[in-house]
Amino acid sequence: MSDVRVSAAEAVESHVRAFFEGHSVEAVDHDLGPERRTVLPRLRVLVVGPGPRDDGWA
């Protein structure tokens, strides 16, 4: 992954964690299958648990 993509992914994760402060935030590897894996080999999904900002999952 290029440095630009890593920086963008880190910036998004940092923003989500700051926005949902007080919530559990987990980065989960997600595999879309063999054909899409070549396009998005390191796709991660941020899972946000219930907390002070919202009582649902995001």
Tokens 């080999």, located at residue: 41
CA pair distance 21, 53, nearest whole angstrom: 8
pLDDT of residue 31: 82
Question: What are 23-41's pLDDT values in tens digits?
Answer: 999 999 888 888 888 888 8
Q: Is the pLDDT of residue 4 over 80?
A: no
Q: What single DSSP character describes residue 54?
A: -
Considering only residues 25 and 4, tell me which one the structure prediction assigns the higher pLDDT: 25
Considering only residues 5 and 45, tell me which one the structure prediction assigns the higher pLDDT: 45
pLDDT of residue 1: 58
Answer yes or no: are the C-beta atoms of 29 and 47 closer than 8 Å: no
Q: Is the pLDDT of residue 22 over 80?
A: yes
